[in-house]
Structure 1
């Protein structure tokens, strides 16, 4: 059963399900992999194979049961998505993103994007800062172009925060490998962590998500200019055509 369904004008926000999973991946492929700042900076937008590898990361996150979609009520089409990931503090293992980049990315572009995430996360240890053992990370947030400016990203983030708070009472939903279907059904099964999120975290990579963070009272703990990240001889800022572009590491105590 879906954990959450709420109306937002001509849309509804609901938990990711087997029925909406393919549409959610298509939003990532079309919107995130083409338009998001780091995807442009490391040329995922020019590499379809790299984009497909990022979809595998989304499938992995989907198994945590905390991702959300925005569905257009008149058509039933998924038009926006928040792929969210439960992150658990560990002392012995490498961070999740670093492991994924090493073990499951064959393309330099996808490795660069995920390594960027691990790098920026590593510069600001939010677990230590907040003295917590678990977080919900708003990992990939995207909306199809024709449905932007409808506050869907804000709604998805706000409800992600609400979902994270509810997890202290136990898992609210769980997708199975069978729900993912296709090549994703061959991924390794895993159990959900026994701890629950005490903070919600994200890396905002553009003005749109940075404005969402301000609206929802996220605290900015680190800002990093895109001039610091280079792929194939060009900085991310150079590819974006904006030398002042930057990302933010943010968090919100639950």
Structure 2
């Protein structure tokens, strides 16, 4: 299902599909895992096996049917991606959130586990379900653009369309992905529960000044700010590896 084209017509934004899945993973592998601040802080950028485990997380999120890609019209190349995930409030205090379960059950590499634990930690500090009084959200989980396609406003466009997509879910599912679509490499994913809730907020953890700029442009409300000096991997803080002691992340959301 096509959603929109950029103003210059160079890119089209579409729901992730079997045809664009491999290209979307390539963006995560080449751009997100190499350049994203938390990936640098946890040394995912130096560990290909850790990067592959994050691709499994992307594959899991893809099954929710709410991820988006920006495709270059002239070449058909996936240039940018927003791997989005439907998050549902846990039914009891003893039930672990999704990211905690993924870190424990699926991350064998310390680097990928550190990154996922960072996400779980920050989410746990700011319970947006309680703060916003909702039971379901769409999370913009991983957002990335290939280096050669940057400065085209693709991240902002993908986030804007993600918000529109979340609102449209009230009318019913807009896309679907199956385990078969993911290919044999990712067919180990466990069966999933059917989610009947619809998102009431769109949320994100903005981890760099660029993504924070996107959130501000789209009127996200920042509910929590956490400095990267608080997170340590292999004897160094995230901020030390990033090379910026003042770097921080934001937990933000927008009502739908």
Please name the residue that 1:98 is paired with: 100
Are 1:72 and 2:72 an aligned pair?
yes
Are 1:29 and 2:29 an aligned pair?
yes
Please name the residue that 2:181 is paired with: 179
Are 1:166 and 2:164 an aligned pair?
no
| CA positional deviation for 1:170 | 1.5
Please name the residue that 1:5 is paired with: 3
Question: Separation in 1 of the partners of 2:31 and 2:168?
Answer: 29
Kindly provide the CA deviation profile for residues 131-172 of structure 1, in whole angstroms up to 9, marking residues without a partner as x.
100000000000001111100000000000000001111111
Please identify, of 85-94 and 103-112, the stretch whose mean Cα deviation from structure 2 is larger.
Answer: 85-94
| CA positional deviation for 1:91 | 3.1
Would you say how many aligned residue pairs link Structure 1 and Structure 2?
252
Please name the residue that 2:48 is paired with: 48
Question: Separation in 1 of the partners of 2:191 and 2:255?
Answer: 30
Please name the residue that 1:231 is paired with: 233
Is residue 64–residue 192 contact of structure 1 (8 Å, CA) maintained in 2?
A: no
Question: Separation in 2 of the partners of 1:173 and 1:185?
Answer: 19
Question: Separation in 2 of the partners of 1:184 and 1:42?
Answer: 24
Please identify, of 217-226 and 176-185, the stretch whose mean Cα deviation from structure 2 is larger.
Answer: 176-185
Structure 2 unmatched runs, 5+: none
Please name the residue that 1:60 is paired with: 60
Question: Separation in 1 of the partners of 2:68 and 2:199?
Answer: 16
- TM-score w.r.t. structure 1 length? 0.98
| CA positional deviation for 1:231 | 0.4
Please name the residue that 1:86 is paired with: 86
| CA positional deviation for 1:182 | 2.2
Is residue 203–residue 249 contact of structure 1 (8 Å, CA) maintained in 2?
A: yes
Please give the root-mean-square deviation of Cα atoms over the aligned residues, in Å.
0.8
Please name the residue that 2:213 is paired with: 211
Question: Separation in 1 of the partners of 2:193 and 2:166?
Answer: 18
| CA positional deviation for 1:185 | 2.0
Kindly provide the CA deviation profile for residues 193-233 of structure 1, in whole angstroms up to 9, marking residues without a partner as x.
00000000000000110000000000000000000001011
Question: Separation in 2 of the partners of 1:44 and 1:134?
Answer: 29
1:217 alignment partner, SS class: coil
Kindly provide the CA deviation profile for residues 101-124 of structure 1, in whole angstroms up to 9, marking residues without a partner as x.
000000000000000000000000
